[in-house]
Chains A and B, each alone.
Chain A
Amino acid sequence: MTKVYLDSQSSTPVLPEVYEAMLPWFSQYYGNASAMHEQGLRARAALDQARKQFSEAIQSSDPEGVIFTSCGTEANNLAVKGSAYALQHKGRHIIISTAEHPSVENSVAFLERHGFSATRVPVNSEGFIDPADIQAAITPETILIATHYANHDIGTIQPVAQIGTIAQEHKVQYFIDATFSAGWLPINVEEMNASLVSISPHRFYGPKGVGVLHKNRKARINGIIHGGIQENNRRSGTENIPAIVGGGLAMELAETEREKRASRVKALQEKLWKGLSESISYIQLNGPRPGESRHPANLNVSTEFIEGEGQLLLCNAAGIAVASGSSCVSKNLKSSPTLTAIGLHITLAQGNIIFSLGKDNTFEQIEYVVTSFTKIVERLRQMSPMWEDFQKGNISSVIAGKEK
């Protein structure tokens, strides 16, 4: 059976080279990096090597700024809560957007229950933050600005360098959630004025079980997982050496191949959208058009008159792996906060599908997906009482209404 994996945004296979690099670290080199003996010191050297690989990939001159966590979510929690706890003597106000990943949004919501306050700047219908809104939200109490680099639902690339400049002018710490961007989009922590940047290697052919938070020398954070003195007291707990080794190599390779990979997935993205929009009626793209301002791996569409889970299941039955709503939380099938933030009509949010492309997808696969998905939409519409009502003229199309 044909199998097409179009959910690279939720996870990717570990590269063969990365896999090979990890293998010795399970049963042969198994020391705890805190230990003072050959096994432990070897592990410590491996950590240092990975710190270099990560810091170089984001143009940082400070490998010591790399803090290893267990995943992107934890890195984001550390950035948000760690900043809040470290800077609460200066103020207790945080600025984010309405379209952050739940790991940022829910960390901020947690802090709000513990005496902090937050301003959520809006995004427009394509998901863009207006840097002027950030500027306007800054108060003398503001200690942190946190925004994503590329949106995990609709691929919108934010003007992070502009926001960084504003943050610097106001001497406010700036955290960029680059969990969906690192490995795919260029990152330069200096130029972006990023005090903190998070990275998630399993999005670019590295392993699960490792996340990274990079902190520049001026940024202040407190650890949020307390215990031993690992990661210079910024993250306690025995380090996951194999995943860190694999993650570091995946980062290095992703950076080397970044432009090649990005231009390939962008071509696939364009072909996919062209195919879908030509063969399916009442379908719309969410987020910016493919191009400079959209993550090349993400295609988010809404197909009117049908619901998301049925599409996922029929795609799966056709061997096609896709996501719906939020790529990270499709299990609960509640529509994603981003879709609400861009003001997407509720029925379009429910019919939402995210195709996310990977470096190994082919043009033939895209053709197969277009053909299959067209049939799936037809089939579900045949079953849908809404489609029937629309055909009979009882209800009108949200998408057609907008196009007029």
Chain B
Amino acid sequence: MSKLTFKRHITESLRNLKRNGWMTTAAIAAVTVTLLLVGVLLSVLLNVNKIANDVQNDVEVRVFIDRKTSSQEQQDLKKKLAKIDGVDNISYSSRKKELNNVVGAYGKEFRLFSGDDNPLYDVYIVKTNEPKDTINVAKTAEKYQHVYQAQYGGASAKKLFNIVSGIRRWGVIISILLLFVAVFLISNTIRLTILSRQNEISIMRLVGATNSYIRWPFILEGAWTGLFGSIIPILIVDFSYGWMYKVISGSLRSTNMALLTPHTFLVEIDLLLAVIGIGIGALGAGLSMGRFLKLKN
């Protein structure tokens, strides 16, 4: 195809888009709504997945401190712990606070043990950079003086684990289903617009246009439809995710869970939406035309 012809196809596709009026509007609207659904659900699902990962890959080592350790010794221990490779930060939880956690979660009968009866230990909660670092950090810490025990591998209830992994599995299934649905709906919409233009296509063939000459403007039209249809979903996802991120991140600050950070995540999801829109639009158009162009007239 010559450069001239290509330029002609580009202008032609945009002109057709404009002249098809309501048809174009309806097609772009369908793409918009489909991609909006994909954008919103994928944002939710990918973040649920992320949080499920965070829960399972808890990067926390709980270092139990011997009962008779003095406050000064505790400080020294903290400094030593901080020097271990892979340690990110360290926080402190007194045995009293630990008991409160148990009471809060497991029932009032544990109140019996408050004060000196408290069977629990003061704890340093050591966060590591990577989940895999927890093993090494725990092993090293256990050798230190005044350390009663060092535990790694998540402090959350097992029940939570099961729910989380169930959610994650469903999330993946739903995401895949959703992408298929989006691909189908977009290409099907494009197909509908082309079906209604069979007559035009046959006239083009009758005046001597080759199949590829006829096909290109339609493919470009499909791509434009996809592109224009992806703009609103991208904007909505970008703005609302930015806002949601701020709101939710606040309440997750005290946990080891975090949402996907907007500046990487949004680039990915924006690209995904644009690619689905443009790619499937163009592909859908190209494939839909096959049938009309194969007719021997």
A binds B: no
